[in-house]
Amino acid sequence: MANTGILHYLQTSDAVTHGVAYLLLAMSVASWCFLIVKSWMLARAKRQAPRALTLFWQAATLSDGVLALRLADKERVFAPLAEAALESAEAHMPGALLGRVERSERVLRALRQALTASQRRLEFGQVLLASVGSTAPFVGLLGTVWGIYHALGSIAASGQAMIENVAGPVGEALIMTAFGLVVAIPAVLAYNVLGRMARQLSEELDGFAHDLHAYVCAPQESAPREAAARRVEAS
């Protein structure tokens, strides 16, 4: 009885099959490493968001809110928006082109840039999961087709085209398709789950940016209080 199985197939296969197997292994390791790291990052950011935003809005001044947000937002998802709002609100550039822009538009521009950077950070690596999920089955199918081609060629050369001589090699070649599916399925599931978490955080970021713009640009009774607080800190 001929030896069959995964190990036997990999030991008796050629360089192309080994290359496909190593490629699938690399894709699997990369997707799982990214899945673990990104899941930790998004889960942590989502858990910290309510407390971080609460501390920010409970602060007495915008500067104090930025400091509180920096301490609470460990993943720096919301903090860049508050920092951009504070910097643009306090910027004085009379000789620059940006100094001629209205304060509201200047703050909006800074918030838009910070929001885009935070959203890119949330969505970083999603292309990797999508690529692995969409290409891994075809990479495995390539290994299967190549294995079947060589198996049928060997059987034809031996002249023993009996069912037991065909079923074993062809069945072993199908292992590569199974490997491709094993790599692709977790990547697709992770892409959907992590994408949903990133979208939820992006919605919170949009709302936070809108609230920041309304706070910084609207006439506020707290402006004198903030100026007094800064004078006290300077003295």
Q: Provide the pLDDT for residue 145.
A: 85
Tens of pLDDT along the chain (235 residues) come to: 445 556 656 666 677 778 888 899 999 999 999 999 999 999 999 999 999 999 999 988 888 988 999 899 888 899 999 988 888 776 655 555 555 557 778 888 889 999 999 999 898 889 999 999 999 999 999 888 887 877 676 666 666 655 555 555 666 778 888 899 999 999 999 999 999 999 999 999 999 999 998 888 876 544 444 444 444 444 4
Q: Is 126 within a domain? A: yes
* Residue 193 domain flag: yes
**Does a structural domain hold residue 1?**
no
- Determine if the pTM surpasses 0.75: no
**191: in domain:** yes
Radius of gyration of the chain (CA): 29
**Structural domain count, the chain:** 1
Query: What's the domain range around 89?
Result: 6-234
